[in-house]
């Protein structure tokens, strides 16, 4: 998926891949402390090799993840979004999204969320959960929008 942010930035959204480990670690290094804290709910100066494997070697069935990269610098990850299916409730998944500070509030989180919702519906997910700080208004608003998207894509399941 290609998109044009309102500030002119051209972006491509694609599934994450195993070869993204260094790019992902780089992206984390560029994030502000505030954004890292909001995403991981803790300070996360760097990811361990094990964490990098978990975050990039996804099966696209129970764990689906996409990255947003700059169209002219495809080695620059500027956003990541994922969901992980709940082991006990297989129609639920926990979602997490993080967008680079320079491109927050430009619709990129919404675009990643839309991709995640489409993939979720196709894989039997009916509900998203997320762990967010109570004061994180952008995250709460984004989860609302993505949940509405999920409902709209699966009207039969909602009515049932």
Ligand X SMILES: CC(C)(COP(=O)(O)OP(=O)(O)OC[C@H]1O[C@@H](n2cnc3c(N)ncnc32)[C@H](O)[C@@H]1OP(=O)(O)O)[C@@H](O)C(=O)NCCC(=O)NCCS
Catalog residues that contact ligand X under the rule CB under 6 A. Answer: 35, 38-39, 96-99, 104-110, 130, 132, 136-139, 141-142, 145
Beta carbon of residue 159, minimum distance to ligand X (angstroms, whole number): 25
Going by C-beta distance under 8 Å and a sequence separation of 6 or more, which residues neighbour residue 37?
43, 133
Question: Quick check: 11 and 3 in contact, CB under 8 A?
Answer: yes
Which of residues 3 and 121 has its CB atom nearest to ligand X in the complex? 3
Which of residues 35 and 118 has its CB atom nearest to ligand X in the complex? 35
The closest residue (CB) to ligand X is: 109
Beta carbon of residue 93, minimum distance to ligand X (angstroms, whole number): 13
Which of residues 84 and 130 has its CB atom nearest to ligand X in the complex? 130
CB-neighbour burial class of residue 130 (10 A; exposed 0-12, middle 13-18, buried 19+): middle
CA dihedral 91, 110, 78, 129 (to 10 degrees): -30
Beta carbon of residue 85, minimum distance to ligand X (angstroms, whole number): 16
Phi, psi of 38 (to 5 degrees): -65, -35
Question: Measuring CA to CA, which residue among 66, 53, 57, 50 is closest to residue 16?
Answer: 66
Beta carbon of residue 156, minimum distance to ligand X (angstroms, whole number): 26
Which of residues 21 and 113 has its CB atom nearest to ligand X in the complex? 113
């Amino acid at each position: 998926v290609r998109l044009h942010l309102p500030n002119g930035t051209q972006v491509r959204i694609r599934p994450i891949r195993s070869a993204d480990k260094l790019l992902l670690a780089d992206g984390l290094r560029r994030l502000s402390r505030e954004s890292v804290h909001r995403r991981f709910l803790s300070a996360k100066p760097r990811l361990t090799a094990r964490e990098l494997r978990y975050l990039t070697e996804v099966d696209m069935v129970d764990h689906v993840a996409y990255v947003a990269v700059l169209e002219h610098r495809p080695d620059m990850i500027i956003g990541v979004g994922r969901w992980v299916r709940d082991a006990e409730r297989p129609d639920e998944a926990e979602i997490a999204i993080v967008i680079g500070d320079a491109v927050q509030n430009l619709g990129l989180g919404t675009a990643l969320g839309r991709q995640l919702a489409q993939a979720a519906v196709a894989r039997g997910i009916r509900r998203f959960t997320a762990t967010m700080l109570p004061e994180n208004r952008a995250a709460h608003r984004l989860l609302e929008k993505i949940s509405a998207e999920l409902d709209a894509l699966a009207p039969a399941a909602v009515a049932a």
